[in-house]
Structure 1
Amino acid sequence: MQQINHTSSYYAASANASPARPSLKGDIETDICIVGAGFTGIVTGLTLAEQGYKVVILDAAKVGWGASGRNGGQIINGFSREIDYIEETVGHDGAMALASLALEGGNVIRENIAKYGIECDLKHGSVLAAYTERQMKDIADTIALWKPLGRDGIDLLSTSDIRKHVGTDKYVGGWLDHNGGHIHPLNLVLGQAAAAEAAGATIYEQTRVTRVQHQLDTPVVHTEGGSVTARYVVLAGNAYLGKTVKELYPKILPASTQIIVTEPLSDNMARDILPTDMCVEDANYVLDYYRLTADKRLLFGGGTVYGGEDVADVEKALRPNMEKLFPATRDLKVDYGWQGNIALTWSRLPHVGRLGKSTYFAHGYSGHGVTSSHMMGRLVGAAVHGDASLFDVFAGMPARSFPGGQLLSVPLSTIGCWWYSMRDKLGI
């Protein structure tokens, strides 16, 4: 099998030291077998290893190779759908249970960083930026919906307020979430993997899963070089699980997003662009997101390509939007550019549940993967250990397949994306 290494990203170039891990050879038995060594799989494995379970984690490439090691690094709280939609879907009690988890993912991240001493450039605060008055109304309505449910720490920002945080005149306002933040995501997951191994977990890299016999009382995970028989299996491959488990394939749609990172900024330019060093995302349907890295580079991301296809030139795709916001960046060199896949669901809520008696899955975070994956890692761990109360709220949500499968869902989603993008541009 050809060795699969991390994509050529800023994160890979600035990653903390991490050991090369072996691939699985032969047939083994364990308590827990987890497919996927990203945030969901590693946090689940860490949670269960610390409970005394024998844990094996498999990845086709390396720890954090997928979305967990190449995302925008933003701690964005909540879900990709608002609480009123969630209440319509799961009822009042279910919505209240999920509302209590709005900050859980960020809390897990901060707890892990503190407990295990993970060096991953944690910074605090995030800004949601509005281009139009319609977007400002939506932001104000969202704050009003969440406030009675105990989600505090959010300030509405006027036009003058937001310019204290973002050095552009393109926004009419937004919000500041004091519970948001940003991190170096690859270093976070590498640190969590080291903590899981210290707790007794075993991680196999370069180990592609070919088949999962989840219908058996004791499921078996087959790989190219062996197999794992386990009391419980957790499927955490997200957008990169592909067709390995046919029951899950129609429920998610891969979509690629792109990121560029500039050369280091001068101190003055860094202060002019992001005076308070918070991360920012805008309120457009196809949004841009950006932040400063620890060494004061501008990391700028955006774009959506349904089906997970790569764009030909990442810098060409993103640079125009970056320069519109910050004209001073026109003379900056772009040192890194990469792309990767996220997993969307039809409802834009996570797809969570069980296959058979003892195979769990969680994926489809629809753009909120940094926080949602940490929340689900903890909830899956709790469910396996015996408390499935919150896991079952997610598992009880209806999960529609994309109409026509991925063959038709890609063009349909692209048309929908175009429509909502036009609405954003027209301010309607």
Structure 2
Amino acid sequence: MTNTSYPASYYAASANPVPARPALQDDVETDVCVIGAGYTGLSSALFLLENGFKVTVLEAAKVGFGASGRNGGQIVNSYSRDIDVIERSVGPQQAQLLGNMAFEGGRIIRERVAKYQIQCDLKDGGVFAALTAKQMGHLESQKRLWERFGHTQLELLDQRRIREVVACDEYVGGMLDMSGGHIHPLNLALGEAAAVESLGGVIYEQSPAVRIERGASPVVHTPQGKVRAKFIIVAGNAYLGNLVPELAAKSMPCGTQVIATEPLGDELARSLLPQDYCVEDCNYLLDYYRLTGDKRLIFGGGVVYGARDPANIEAIIRPKMLKALPQLKDVKIDYAWTGNFLLTLSRLPQVGRLGDNIYYSQGCSGHGVTYTHLAGKVLAEALRGQAERFDAFADLPHYPFPGGQLLGTPLAAMGAWYYGLRDKLGF
């Protein structure tokens, strides 16, 4: 059987040591079978184990192999479409429920890190950086919106103030969210996996789910074994493939690219980001960056629709980095990698149930670090019979991409080109 290892990323190179986890080679029984050992699956497993369920996790490769172990590492609140957009779509009552949950994921991450003593370089503070007066106006509206839902750890930054937190001359202002922040994402996933195992959960790596036998007692088949469960949670996101055709039709895997510099040294690192906050700009096709624990700069951006790997990631991302931070023109890039996230047409997550016992959450649309941790709690609540918050997500309207993924990919790329042009022209 093929042994799938991590991609050659900075995160894999600096991962905390972990025990070897076997592939499933037997027939086992459990209360809940979780498909996917990324944040959604691990968060679900933890909440279920804490509430007395017996849990088995199947991972096709290694813990955190997908987006959970490759992302920019930024703790960003709310959803890929903000609460006001949701409110216009579904009305005030459902939006109120979703708005009340929009800032919960970051709290869950911090609770997990503290409770299970996870070493993942957690730092507080995230900056949304405005490149135009229009973007600054949007941040002012966003601050009022978030404060309406009780989120108050926010500070608007004028041009002078943003220069104090990030050494980029392009920004006209910004907003600081002190409940945002950043982490080593793979080490967070590895720490959560260890927490799952400390509570009696079992994780099988190199054990892809190849078929789900639906029914009153569903069975998940892997190449060398099977898991019979009372419930299944499908948490494969962009790496699920066509295991569940109903889910594949309403989503599209997309690739994003990330680079990591050589270590910058204390002086240069402190001059770029004196308070060690993470940064993302306000463009539709946004760039994001932050410092690592060993003072490298992680810089990411760009989207490849259909999740093809570009031939030269550094050639795509390095010019973006130098436009924001020309101080790094002589700095070497040590790592470059890509990872997939799952896009939905609405850019809102898809949550639901197939039959009576197969639950799923997918389609974070690039906003997954916090949402996936919330999703795990919401899925666990639903399995315990508390479905109000689950239903608030499940009732969001979702539609298939026009023409399926074959036509959806070029259409999405055309839409991204249009909005990218608007960003460049300042509309």
Q: Please give the TM-score of this superposition, normalised by the length of structure 2.
A: 0.99
Name the amino acid aligned to 2:241: G
- Does the alignment pair 1:383 with 2:363? no
Residue of structure 1 in register with 2:221 after alignment: 222
- Does the alignment pair 1:314 with 2:333? no
Contact 1:40 1:376 in 2 (8 A): yes
Q: How far does residue 138 in structure 1 lie from its aligned partner after superposition? A: 1.3
Determine the C-alpha separation between the residues in 1 that align with 2:53 and 2:257.
Answer: 38
Residue of structure 2 in register with 1:64 after alignment: 64
1:176-223, Cα deviation, whole Å (9 max, x unpaired)? 001100000111110111111110100000001111123x11211111
Work out the percentage of aligned pairs sharing the same amino acid. Answer: 55
Q: How far does residue 88 in structure 1 lie from its aligned partner after superposition? A: 2.3
Q: How far does residue 266 in structure 1 lie from its aligned partner after superposition? A: 2.3
Residue of structure 2 in register with 1:188 after alignment: 188
Counting only pairs closer than 5 Å after superposition, residues 164-203 of structure 1 correspond to structure 2 as 164-203=164-203
Residue of structure 2 in register with 1:150 after alignment: 150
Determine the C-alpha separation between the residues in 1 that align with 2:129 and 2:282.
Answer: 6
Determine the C-alpha separation between the residues in 1 that align with 2:84 and 2:281.
Answer: 21
Determine the C-alpha separation between the residues in 2 that align with 1:349 and 1:88.
Answer: 13
Residue of structure 2 in register with 1:236 after alignment: 235
Residue of structure 1 in register with 2:213 after alignment: 213
Counting only pairs closer than 5 Å after superposition, residues 108-147 of structure 1 correspond to structure 2 as 108-147=108-147
Residue of structure 1 in register with 2:426 after alignment: 427
Contact 1:102 1:151 in 2 (8 A): no
1:122-175, Cα deviation, whole Å (9 max, x unpaired)? 000000001111111111112222222212111111111111111011011110
Counting only pairs closer than 5 Å after superposition, residues 40-55 of structure 1 correspond to structure 2 as 40-55=40-55
Contact 1:155 1:177 in 2 (8 A): yes
Q: How far does residue 6 in structure 1 lie from its aligned partner after superposition? A: 0.7
Name the amino acid aligned to 2:85: Y
Q: How far does residue 269 in structure 1 lie from its aligned partner after superposition? A: 1.0
Counting only pairs closer than 5 Å after superposition, residues 1-12 of structure 1 correspond to structure 2 as 1-12=1-12
Q: How far does residue 86 in structure 1 lie from its aligned partner after superposition? A: 0.7
Residue of structure 1 in register with 2:361 after alignment: 362
Residue of structure 2 in register with 1:327 after alignment: 326
Coordinate RMSD, CA, aligned: 0.9
Q: How far does residue 371 in structure 1 lie from its aligned partner after superposition? A: 0.3
Contact 1:239 1:343 in 2 (8 A): yes
Determine the C-alpha separation between the residues in 2 that align with 1:50 and 1:425.
Answer: 48
Determine the C-alpha separation between the residues in 2 that align with 1:272 and 1:110.
Answer: 27
Secondary structure of 2:256's counterpart equals strand
Residue of structure 2 in register with 1:269 after alignment: 268
Q: How far does residue 89 in structure 1 lie from its aligned partner after superposition? A: 2.4
Deviates more, 1:44-53 or 1:301-310: 44-53
Name the amino acid aligned to 2:223: E
Determine the C-alpha separation between the residues in 2 that align with 1:3 and 1:280.
Answer: 36
Determine the C-alpha separation between the residues in 1 that align with 2:398 and 2:3.
Answer: 35
Secondary structure of 2:307's counterpart equals coil
Structure 1, unmatched stretches of 5+, are none
How many residues are matched? 427
Residue of structure 2 in register with 1:286 after alignment: 285
1:79-118, Cα deviation, whole Å (9 max, x unpaired)? 1112121112222111111111121100000000000000
Residue of structure 2 in register with 1:352 after alignment: 351
Residue of structure 2 in register with 1:418 after alignment: 417
Determine the C-alpha separation between the residues in 1 that align with 2:425 and 2:242.
Answer: 39
Determine the C-alpha separation between the residues in 1 that align with 2:387 and 2:42.
Answer: 19
Secondary structure of 1:251's counterpart equals coil
Q: How far does residue 324 in structure 1 lie from its aligned partner after superposition? A: 1.3
Structure 2, unmatched stretches of 5+, are none
Determine the C-alpha separation between the residues in 1 that align with 2:409 and 2:278.
Answer: 30
Q: How far does residue 60 in structure 1 lie from its aligned partner after superposition? A: 0.5
Q: How far does residue 317 in structure 1 lie from its aligned partner after superposition? A: 0.7
Determine the C-alpha separation between the residues in 2 that align with 1:75 and 1:107.
Answer: 10
